């Protein structure tokens, strides 16, 4: 069997490595200029050239049995064209909905799940009216597209913050912003005084069977995920039940095939959906060494129509993201981080500040021991 992946980053790398064990071949579709360092040696790479048809891509990829993605910022029109030649998972229509925060929030609402109050504004529509409509400050303004790791987001809790957003909006509308913007619309949502953020990851097979992983707690800094802890400490049974319901409801409603991640805010016994990811997700990397079957293998199993693997977690596990500290061409792995019960996953990417260039998974016998180990990893990485 052959699976093709649109994209050549670390998620493609880990998907291919998990599928190799099952004898599955891989090929990759890259945009012009896209780095292929992460998937070097893991399969054929096809670079999209001007005028290349979907049929030509399909044939160059080795006529795969299924095609999937590693990111949501993907050409949905191309996905639909490729679907004429083989199954494409997740379905392009689902990816299209999740690509845009307005459509994503609408999907979550239609699925009967909780979100923070929100409204959409476009072009020069008044921000003040939107803020009033959802109960006043504080709010978070997010571009409906092109937002990741904290980019294109504004936390607003004062008149000065409103003025700062309006200044940025003027530059965006003029096309003078330093950040990419596909369109001029934003989601204005009530800022939730959440206690913590968790994520729940599930997979659905072609035949409709579903598995889900135990929720993990995530720690973000500057909009970037720094670490995950599984199981999320002291999570109530009410929240656990809601999390399992949320992932199951979304997988069933959309007829989703593959791995889906749902990031949520916890506030007492309320579980509020923040956002969705139609792919394997950073907060599920712990499963590579902390669960019977990793999220990557279950994604491959799902799209290959193979039985889904057990998601039982192995004690207490955690993940620490290795973020680039400086601009550097050095791709040598930090092998000093390899210790008993520490598992280094290195992507082979060049370093730049804030870029995800690897992660370390850690196993422990208790939450306290896990916290100590993750702190040691953090200190060692920052001091290296």
pLDDT at res. 149: 64
Domain presence at residue 97: no
pLDDT at 147 over 90: no
Domain presence at residue 106: no
Which CATH number covers residue 167?
A: 3.30.1490.20
Contact between 257 and 306 under an 8 Å Cβ cutoff? The reply is no
Do 83 and 141 sit in the same domain of this protein? no
Do 262 and 129 sit in the same domain of this protein? no
Do 151 and 225 sit in the same domain of this protein? no
Which of residues 177 and 295 earns the better pLDDT score? 295
pLDDT at res. 181: 67
Of 69, 88, 107, which marks where a domain is finished?
Answer: 88
pLDDT at 274 over 70: yes
Of 140, 165, 190, which marks where a domain is finished?
Answer: 190
Do 156 and 136 sit in the same domain of this protein? yes
Domain presence at residue 65: yes
Instruction: Please give the tally of structural domains in the chain.
Output: 3
Do 230 and 326 sit in the same domain of this protein? yes
pLDDT at res. 176: 86
Domain presence at residue 99: no
Mean pLDDT of the region 97-125: 96
Do 279 and 356 sit in the same domain of this protein? yes
pLDDT at res. 322: 98
Do 230 and 378 sit in the same domain of this protein? yes
pLDDT at res. 201: 98
Do 167 and 212 sit in the same domain of this protein? no
Do 13 and 129 sit in the same domain of this protein? no
Contact between 31 and 48 under an 8 Å Cβ cutoff? The reply is yes
Of 190, 225, 251, which marks where a domain is finished?
Answer: 190
Do 206 and 62 sit in the same domain of this protein? no
pLDDT at 298 over 90: yes
Q: Can you give the residue range of the structural domain that contains 150?
A: 117-190
Place of tokens 């069997």: 1
Do 237 and 279 sit in the same domain of this protein? yes
Apex CA 164: angle with CA 160 and CA 166, to 5°? 115
Domain presence at residue 108: no
Which CATH number covers residue 37?
A: 3.40.50.20
Q: Whole-number mean pLDDT of the chain?
A: 96
Domain presence at residue 94: no
Do 324 and 350 sit in the same domain of this protein? yes
Domain presence at residue 324: yes
Contact between 44 and 62 under an 8 Å Cβ cutoff? The reply is yes
pLDDT at res. 222: 86
pLDDT at res. 278: 98
Domain presence at residue 96: no
Contact between 124 and 166 under an 8 Å Cβ cutoff? The reply is no
pLDDT at res. 154: 94
């Amino acid at each position: 069997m052959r699976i093709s992946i649109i994209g050549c980053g670390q998620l493609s790398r880990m998907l291919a490595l998990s599928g190799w064990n099952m004898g599955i071949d891989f090929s990759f579709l890259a945009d012009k200029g896209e780095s292929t360092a992460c998937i070097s040696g893991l399969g054929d790479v096809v670079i999209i050239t001007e005028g290349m048809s979907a049929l030509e891509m399909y044939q160059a990829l080795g006529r795969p049995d299924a095609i999937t993605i590693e990111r949501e910022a993907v050409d949905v029109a191309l996905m639909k064209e490729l679907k004429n030649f083989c199954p494409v998972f997740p379905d392009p229509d689902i990816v299209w909905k999740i690509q845009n925060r307005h459509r994503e929030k609408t999907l979550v609402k239609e699925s009967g799940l909780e979100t923070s109050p929100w409204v959409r504004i476009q072009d020069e529509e008044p921000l003040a009216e939107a803020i009033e409509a959802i109960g006043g400050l504080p709010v978070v303004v997010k571009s409906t597209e092109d937002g990741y790791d904290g980019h294109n987001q504004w936390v607003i809790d004062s008149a000065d913050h409103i003025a700062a957003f309006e200044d940025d909006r003027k530059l965006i509308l003029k096309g003078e912003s330093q950040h990419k913007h596909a369109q001029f619309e934003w989601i204005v949502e009530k800022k939730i005084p959440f206690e913590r953020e968790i994520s729940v990851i599930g997979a659905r097979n072609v035949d409709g069977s579903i598995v889900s992983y135990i929720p993990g707690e995530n720690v973000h800094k500057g909009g970037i995920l720094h670490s995950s802890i599984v199981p999320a400490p002291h999570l109530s049974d009410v929240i656990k039940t809601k999390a399992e319901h949320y992932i199951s409801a979304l997988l069933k409603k959309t007829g989703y095939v593959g791995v889906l991640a749902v990031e949520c805010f916890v506030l007492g016994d309320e579980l509020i959906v923040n956002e969705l990811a139609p792919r394997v997700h950073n907060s599920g990397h712990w499963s590579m060494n902390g669960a019977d079957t990793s999220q990557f293998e279950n994604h491959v199993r799902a799209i290959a129509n193979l039985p889904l693997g057990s998601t039982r977690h192995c004690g207490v596990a955690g993940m620490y993201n290795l973020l680039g500290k400086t601009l550097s061409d050095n791709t040598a792995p930090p092998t000093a981080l390899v210790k008993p019960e520490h598992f280094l996953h290195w992507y082979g990417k060049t370093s730049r500040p804030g870029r995800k260039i690897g992660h370390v998974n850690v196993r422990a016998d208790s939450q306290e021991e896990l916290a100590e180990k993750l702190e040691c990893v953090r200190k060692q990485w920052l001091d290296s």
